[in-house]
A and B are shown apart, each in its own frame.
Chain A
Amino acid sequence: MKGPVSVKIEDVHVAFGHTRVLTGVNLDIEPGEFFAFLGPSGSGKSTLLRAIAGFGPMPGGRILIDGQNVTGLPPWKRNVGMVFQSYALWPHMTVRKNVAFGLEERRVDGKELRRRVDAALDLVGLAEFADRRPAQLSGGQQQRVALARTVVVEPRVLLLDEPLSNLDANLRVQMRRDILDLQRKLSLTTIFVTHDQEEANTMSDRMAVLNDGVIQQVGAPVTLYDRPSNLFVADFLGTANVLKGHFTSDDGGSRFMDETGIEITLDKKVEHEHGAVVLRPQNLTIQSPGAAHATRIIPLSGTVQYVEFLGSIVRYAVQVEPHVILIDESHRQGDRVFQKGESVEVGVDTNYLTTLAQ
């Protein structure tokens, strides 16, 4: 069997009638990569996945798999395996029949067919369920059958459409690992669609964040989280406190001035004039008013509006007029927890913030 292949998407546009759902999408997915399309519903992530499989309206631009242009190819000639969100197991066939389907379409029969179906069922740990009907299986088992049915034909690329959305929370964590193991074992280039950032973070090597049919940013989960390139990405990946304002620069660095008068001095130079500062809750600190602090920390006075004790962390919402700033303070045994209504100082560490152009 040939090694993993690349997927290249060049200037892809998709429209349903007059509604544009994807605009100018460009992506290079490396061979063997586990790649995620992350975005809210209606962002076009599923449409993009389906376009790779050959479903939906004919896209503009080019889609290349292993260097071959597949744009005009019908789905059955692409050899791209897709696992549907609903699993789409055929209820009138047994598990074995479902898994054998693709091989039969490829004119594999006899011993070879049996061997490969058994191997695929073994791979997902469902060998003893071969003669059941899909309706007699649990959601997680159905998911495995769908996976087996897809990988048994040795597709060039594996596409997963919201693979975990129909499973309950416990199973999701387990399945996340299983899918990842399977992908490593088969070393298949894999693309999966999700609206859940935790899923994308834990599973993918790299991901593309989509919104309104446009790719917002592409990169490794950590990069996207720490260095979001716009407000959408900053906000979609985790919680973010956003202060909007303008920057003034001189030789030594820049100064940020919020619309309401909050000032933050930055030691690096910011090119743009209007923009925003993004503060992740865990990068902020909270302390009593007037307590000593390092010089690079800028204190903002406020009042605690609510406190959520979550065990390992305490989440505070602090009113710093007119903003409400969220702060996650990690909690160690015996640490003092501030109470609602207390006056506090929020510490902004200038080393741990992101500046964005607007």
Chain B
Amino acid sequence: MNYFARTSLGPAGVAILLGLFLLVFLVVPVAKVIFVAFQDPNTGALTLVNFADFFNTSLFRESFFNSLYVALMSVVVGSVIAMPLAYFTTRFNFNGAVLIQTLGVIPLIMPPFVGAVAMQLLFGANGSINLLLDEWFGINIPFMEGLNGVILVESIHYFPFILINLSAALNNIDRSMEESAQNLGANGFRLFRRIVFPLAMPGYVAGASLVFLKVFDDLGTPLLLNVNNMLAPQAYLRISSIGISDPMGYVISVILVLFSLFALWTSFLAMRGKEYATVQKGGGGLMKRDLRTWEKVGAYAVVIFTLLIVLSPHIGLTLLSFGTIWSFSVLPDGFTLANYQEVIGTTSDYITNTMLYAGLAALIDVVFGTAIAYLVWRTKLVGRKWLDYLATGALAIPGVVLGIGYLRTFYEVEVPFIGQPLASWWVIIVVALAVRRLPYALRACVAALQQVAVALEEAAENLGATKYRTVKRVVVPLMSGGIIAGFVTSFATAAVELSATIMLVSAESDAPLSYGIYVFMQSAAGRGPGAALGMIAVIIVGVATYLSHRVIERGKREQALDAALAGGV
């Protein structure tokens, strides 16, 4: 009993503090949003009248179906892009595999809303591509027309989720799975349909539902493309134009949360009990074959074409940021550095704010992530799983919803000594970013912790180190690679977050990069500087992503070396 009390008091205290943080900054605001959605705005009584109002308003019905349509179509278009790429890398000895892996990362370093305006200038009705098509063939394709634009931008941005998950699933199919089918008489398309496809299905569904969730919740892209008849923009516009007492914003929030939960649940169901990792001892590894010459040409054509489309937001943004005036022409009229000078001269606040907010949020994430990972996987605390569920649950909460929840919950809470409401203090932006990125950091920390054998901890304790000292001297140093990777990922994604930030920025001087880009992009004259700001964001995220990649790779090499040394090889 004594032993138990001494060793569990520390962890229990930490667990309670973490639980309180998540309760105050995740559970309460979301509960508040849901509660208000069911509350009569005048009497305060519980009611369904708000939902009835929602479905009786044609604009909202239209928004609802538009959001659903855009999310589903983005999954379809994303799958069309991702499937051939995943198949090439996993089933053929294809030299372009590195190219495809790069393809899978490039879109993720630029948030979709940043490239949206550039895409408009390339693919819009009067954009470069259509001007050329008109000149050559006399046709005009509405790539960016209304919802099409959102679908195009989102699917180009999010297809890597499908690519990564599907490739992983295909990589897990041992060649004996296919060989035994061939041995029993199956080949070609029947082999694919009966064996390969069903085995890869869970991975595909997991990736696809993630894309659905991301697109359904996205606020920045439709806002910047000026497509307002979708759910997330409607929620934002209602709250920002009518005020935080308007119930429609809350009703929309509930619908967003419901669909996010549904998507997460689908992905959970798809993966549960179906992790068909069939590569095993005695198996033969992957079934790969060489490409014939004409197949190779075809494969390269597909990859390069995809690469061009995927890089188009980056190309467009670069042109826009260095261009003078770009309107009704294939390329900008001239090139200049003026946009960068303007941005760096007048708006350096945006950059320093972003570094501060994203840095702090990432720091909170890895500290909390490490603590939660340890508590959940290495202690026997009652209810420890709930910490994991709560922190991961943030995945299902769209940024808009969290933003609305914070506004509603913390508007009356005054911060001591500062003299302003918590909801409009800049720290609340950091908290929002931290809560939103915590699930990702937590997964990175859990993965890192699972690499640390329990025996290493026991050895330290056996030599007299307390729990706290053991964690500090053995566990955390061994996890450092994963923790750093988690920090960088959180930092990079927090740096370009828009949907919660846009709700919570109360003064221009407190605003981060993403907000600045949004403000600039609103006017035609601001596009150049906006693009320059976007380029800066892309560079920050790109460098951070590259660094985390290096850290992870170095960790892997060291582990391989350690294993080799331990094995006496």
Contacts and interface: CB of A to CB of B under 8 A. Distances in A.
A79 B186 CA distance: 11
Contacts of A88: 174, 176-177, 179-180, 278, 283
A76 B194 contact: no
A61 interface: no
B282 interface: yes
Given A84-B179, A84-B283, 6 more contacts: A76-B182, A76-B185, A76-B186, A85-B176, A86-B283, A91-B274
Given A86-B281, A162-B282, A92 B186 contact: no
Contacts of A79: 185
B198 A84 contact: no
A84 B283 CA distance: 8
Interface in B170-204: 174, 176-177, 179-187, 190, 194-195, 198-199, 201
Given A91-B276, A92-B199, A92-B276, A76 B183 contact: yes
B245 interface: no
Contacts of A84: 176, 179-180, 282-283
Given A86-B281, A106-B185, A92 B198 contact: yes
A159 B282 CA distance: 15
Interface in B514-532: none
Contacts of A81: 183-184
B327 interface: no
Interface of B: 174, 176-177, 179-187, 190, 194-195, 198-199, 201, 274, 276, 278, 280-283
B176 A86 contact: yes
Nearest to B190: A105
A86 B194 contact: no
Nearest to B283: A86
Contact of B184 (A55, A101, A166): A101
Contacts of B182: 54-55, 74-76
Interface in A62-96: 74-76, 79-82, 84-86, 88, 90-92
A86 B184 contact: no
23 contacts: A53-B183, A74-B182, A75-B179, A76-B185, A81-B183, A84-B180, A84-B282, A88-B174, A88-B176, A90-B181, A91-B199, A92-B198, A92-B199, A92-B274, A92-B276, A101-B184, A101-B186, A105-B185, A105-B190, A150-B184, A153-B184, A153-B185, A165-B282
Given A55-B179, A101-B194, A166-B282, A74 B174 contact: no
Given A88-B174, A91-B199, A80 B183 contact: yes
A59 interface: no
A102 B185 contact: yes
Interface residues of A, number: 27
Contacts of B283: 84-86, 88
A156 interface: no
A165 B280 CA distance: 13
Contacts of A280: none
A81 B276 CA distance: 24
Interface SS of chain A: helix, strand, loop or mixed? loop
- Of A92, A149, A162, most buried by chain B (CB within 10 Å of CB) is A92
Contacts of A166: 281-282
B176 A76 contact: no
Contact of A101 (B181, B187, B198, B274): B181
Contact of B183 (A82, A90, A91, A162): A82
B177 A76 contact: no
A86 B285 CA distance: 11
Contacts of B187: 74-76
Given A76-B183, A80-B183, A91 B176 contact: no
Contacts of B281: 86, 166
Given A86-B174, A88-B174, A90-B195, A102 B282 contact: no
A86 B184 CA distance: 16
Nearest to A99: B184
A153 B195 CA distance: 18
Interface string A40-72: 000000000000011100000000000000000
Interface string A196-240: 000000000000000000000000000000000000000000000
A329 B177 CA distance: 49
Given A75-B179, A92-B199, A101-B194, A86 B185 contact: no
A201 B185 CA distance: 32
Contacts of A53: 179, 183
A90 B184 contact: no
A82 B180 contact: yes
A74 B182 CA distance: 8
Contacts of A54: 182
B207 to A, nearest CB: 18
Given A91-B199, A101-B194, A153-B185, A86 B280 contact: yes
Contacts of A153: 184-185
A55 B177 CA distance: 13
Contacts of A92: 198-199, 201, 274, 276
Contacts of B185: 76, 79, 102, 105-106, 153
Contacts of B177: 88, 90
B279 to A, nearest CB: 9
Most buried by B among A79, A82, A106: A82
Contacts of A74: 182, 187
Contacts of A105: 184-186, 190
Given A88-B174, A88-B177, A92-B199, A149 B280 contact: no
